Amino acid sequence: MWGRDEIQIEVVMSRIEKMGRLLAPKSIAFIGGRIAEMAIEKCQGIGFEGEIWPVHPNRTKVAGFACFPSIDTLPSVPDAAYVGVNRNLTVEVVGGLSRMGVGGAVCYAAGFSEMGEAGKQIQQALVAAAGDMPVVGPNCFGLINFLDRTALWPYPFGGTPRGSGVALISQSGNIAMNLTMNLRSVRFSYVIGAGNQAVLGLSDYLEELLNDERVTAIGMYIEGINDLGAFCKAAARAVEQRVPIVVMKVGKTEASAKQSSTHTDSLTGSDELHDALFKRLGIIRVDSLNRLLETLKALELSPVLAGRTIFSLSCSGGEAAIIADLVPEFDLHMPAFSERQMSDLQSQFTDYVTVSNPFDYNTSIWGDQRAQQRCFTSSMQGTHDAAILIYDHPTVEWAGVDEWIMALDAFIAAHKSTGKPAFVICTVSELLPLEIQERLINHGVVPLQGLNDGLSAIGNTASYHEFQRLKMQSMTLPKFAGTAIQQPSRFLDEYTAKQQLRSFGICVPEGALASAENAIAVADKLGYPVVVKAVGEQFLHKSDIGVLLLNLINADEVNEAVTRITRNIAAAGLETPEKFLIEKMVSDVVAEVIVGIKRDQQFGLALVIGSGGIFVELIKDSVSLLLPTDEKSIVDALSSLALQKLLDGYRGKPSGDMAALVAAISAFARYAETHWDTLLEADINPLMVLAEGSGAVAADALIHLAD
């Protein structure tokens, strides 16, 4: 007898096997009235050549097709069904379709989980009714297959049938519809409106799209990921197949409003963890629909970029100035032309033309295609990774427009003769008409619209190709939450926490526990200067209540420190501790780092690295990594922080011990992985980085464990 989990796995596998019928059906039942009729019209419009079977209890014809009174009277079992009825009837119809063995269904109706508890119950009934049948939605428009000319979709859409192209998965039907109508030459193969994802989730769609070699890239508009593990496996498969994924994820939030005992929780929220996930998987994240489209286009059409160096050509100093300002924002670089190129280019122009990168080639060669081609070819014969022509096409009727076409043709010819990856970017997105875009695409040049969006697309394309070169072979999938921890918990006192970290190889200050009576003796033995701290669960944030005193240089100061701390504890209404922690003062610190662990109910344990000490809340300079991680990822994370300037030796100061810092962070990550099922949160703040060769020391530590 199969257990429940085994049955569920079998159901999921059966759904995946059936998805091919749903996405490329030979026969479709359209169930309902006006919405079903609209979907039939769209299916006819795209050129569907299979069987269309309308189902309605009271109509004889729908959209010109003979109508069947119920699904039981259909002439055969359809590959797919479009269900355009109310939510309660949707559950009944889906159950009947599943029992028939239909390949899959699209559920248009709203009023399910998006409508509160009552809606969630109806959605659960829908899932039960579906059984092992794939279901798109509910609360969605449906899907469009431009490759096989199929539309289970009731509303207008753009695009034309084609042989290959990028796919789109969107949790918003309206956004998906609008994106199909783009005038940016983004050519879709599939468009899927995921809706509520009651049955099929994002990972199911990714897996099925990756089965089709005609899909060149995948774009996603998402609000959340239900099954992170399945999503990661599908994304890893995309990396292996070299199919780029570009995501626009909305729902950015501040860190959890729940008061946390660590500083770490103020540095990261679920959005930062999604960022970490996408970086781990080589997924490109964008922040606008324009950039989603431009990046998909660049990834589909561009050859592989070997690096991030570019040069630009324009006949305007203004455009050159703008692009020079923008390039650093997208981590692109504009090195000068080589000496040979400089000499060659200077020989082509009069003295008043300055050869530089960006290069304003001036109007002196405007309208001279031969001179432009020579200039563009010389510019492309260097070591830059890509060439950019800034070009705005006139949108008014004018006899002189031929001179603009000359510039394009010269750029195309130079690209063909050198093989240099080439992009044309207009400054204003409207100034690159579709016919010009198609002209460029047909000659292997990528048209991009808008300087910001275009440069973003080039930077994203370079990032994807860099990931493929450097990281895909060593990519490891993150570990996720598992069972939520709900049992009672406790905080380790600082001394105990440090001893646990020390056992994992993390350096802590030399120190010992002492009573009020023998604090001076312990300090004398350690040697001055020293630090005195209260020890106990109630003293998690010592500075707030004055139970931490630094840089004590003699016995009298230690005695006074114990007295002051005891007085401050009494004033705060707390119990006087039995022990104090006396430690050697850490000196000659280059930088203070916070290293934290946060438990997220969806992601599990995540590592946070940032500027520590007083800078934690002041500048919010931090980055998150999912576990497990490695030293290369830690180094990359540190290099992304403003803190790195201090570690490199800021303004003549000594550089920090990077090797010791990375080793300490790696050890902290290992501690978290070892205690995956019990660790709730932890941080080292500050982790004091000393001069190169001198180490890194955990000056304070907090660990929160489930009992």
pLDDT digits (tens, 9 = 90+) for 13-49: 467 778 999 999 999 999 999 999 999 999 999 999 9
pLDDT digits (tens, 9 = 90+) for 575-611: 888 899 999 999 999 999 999 999 988 899 999 999 9
Provide the pLDDT for residue 487: 78
Residues in the chain: 707
pTM of the entire predicted model = 0.90
Of 261 and 122, the structure prediction assigns the larger pLDDT to 122
CA distance 488 to 507: 30
Picking from 8, 659, 636, 616, the residue whose alpha carbon sits closest to that of residue 255 is 616
pLDDT digits (tens, 9 = 90+) for 419-468: 999 999 999 999 999 999 999 999 999 999 999 999 999 999 999 999 99
CA distance 477 to 492: 31
What are φ and ψ of residue 235, in 5° steps?
Answer: -65, -35
Q: Is 488 exposed, middle or buried (0-12, 13-18, 19+ CB in 10 A)?
A: exposed
CA distance 265 to 250: 21
pLDDT digits (tens, 9 = 90+) for 163-199: 999 999 999 999 999 999 999 999 999 999 999 999 9
Strand partners, 608: 596, 624
pLDDT digits (tens, 9 = 90+) for 468-522: 998 777 788 898 876 557 778 999 999 999 999 999 999 999 999 999 999 999 9
CA distance 624 to 608: 4
CB 177 within 8 A of CB 149: no
CA distance 216 to 209: 10
Using the predicted structure, report yes or no on whether residue 60 has a pLDDT greater than 50: yes
CB 80 within 8 A of CB 28: yes
CB 176 within 8 A of CB 183: no
Which residues fall within 8 angstroms of residue 184, CB to CB, at 6 or more apart? 293, 294, 297, 429, 437, 449
Q: How far is CA 210 from the centre of its chain?
A: 19
The C-alpha angle 54, 56, 59, rounded to 5 degrees, equals 100
CA distance 207 to 18: 12
pLDDT digits (tens, 9 = 90+) for 92-116: 999 999 999 999 999 999 999 988 8
> To which H or E segment does residue 152 belong?
strand 150-152
CA distance 331 to 570: 54
CA distance 522 to 108: 74
CA distance 662 to 609: 11
6 falls in which pLDDT band (50, 70, 90)? very low
Q: Which long-range contacts (CB under 8 A, 24 or more apart) does 428-433 make?
A: 428/392, 429/184, 429/290, 429/453, 430/395, 431/392, 431/393, 431/395, 432/391, 432/392, 432/393, 433/393, 433/395
Please give the structure tokens belonging to residue 693.
């060769």
DSSP string across 256-278? PSS--SSSGGGT--HHHHHHHHH
Provide the pLDDT for residue 470: 87
Mean pLDDT value across the chain? 91
Cis peptide bond prior to 488, omega within 30° of 0: no
Using the predicted structure, report yes or no on whether residue 255 has a pLDDT greater than 50: no
Under DSSP, the state recorded for 624 is: E
Picking from 203, 199, 201, the residue whose alpha carbon sits closest to that of residue 128 is 199
CB 417 within 8 A of CB 377: yes
> To which H or E segment does residue 12 belong?
helix 4-23
Which residues fall within 8 angstroms of residue 679, CB to CB, at 6 or more apart? 597, 599, 605, 671, 672, 703, 704, 705, 706
CA distance 22 to 137: 13
> What's the number of CA atoms in the CB half-sphere (13 Å) around residue 272?
25
Fill in the amino acid letter for 699.
Answer: A
What is each CA distance from 566 to 247, 540, 559, 581, in whole angstroms? 55, 16, 11, 13
